[in-house]
Amino acid sequence: MKIHDDHMFHGAALIQVAEHKRFTAINSLKIGAKLHRNAYKINDEIGLYLKYASKKTKAHDEYMFTFTREHLKDLEKIHKANSSTFVAMVCVGEREICCLSYDELAKLINSRKVEKGSKEDQYTILVTVPSGKSMRAYVNSPGVKNTMLGKPMIVKRNEFPRKIFG
Domain residue spans of the chain:
5-165
- What pLDDT sits at residue 51? 97
- What pLDDT sits at residue 38? 92
Centre a 10 Å sphere on the Cβ of residue 11 and count the other Cβ atoms it contains. 14
The pairing of strands 46-53 and 84-91 is: parallel
- What pLDDT sits at residue 144? 86
SS3 at position 124: strand
- At the second CATH level, the architecture of 5-165 is 3-Layer(aba) Sandwich (3.40)
- What's the DSSP call for residue 41? E
Give the integer Cα–Cα distance in Å for 21 and 103.
25
E strands, the chain, are 26-31, 34-42, 46-53, 63-68, 84-91, 96-101, 122-128, 135-138, 153-155
Give the integer Cα–Cα distance in Å for 20 and 14.
10
The candidate with the shortest Cα–Cα distance to 53, out of 108, 102, 6, is 6
CB 121 within 8 A of CB 68: yes
* Axis crossing angle, helix 102-116 with helix 69-81, rounded to the nearest 10: 140
Cis status of the peptide bond prior to 142, with omega within 30 of 0: no
**What is the pTM assigned to this prediction?**
0.94
Using 50 as the pLDDT threshold, list the residues of the chain that sit under it.
none
- What pLDDT sits at residue 120? 96
- What pLDDT sits at residue 65? 98
- What pLDDT sits at residue 59? 87
Quick: pLDDT tens for 104-141.
Answer: 999 999 999 999 999 999 999 999 999 999 999 999 99
CB 17 within 8 A of CB 48: yes
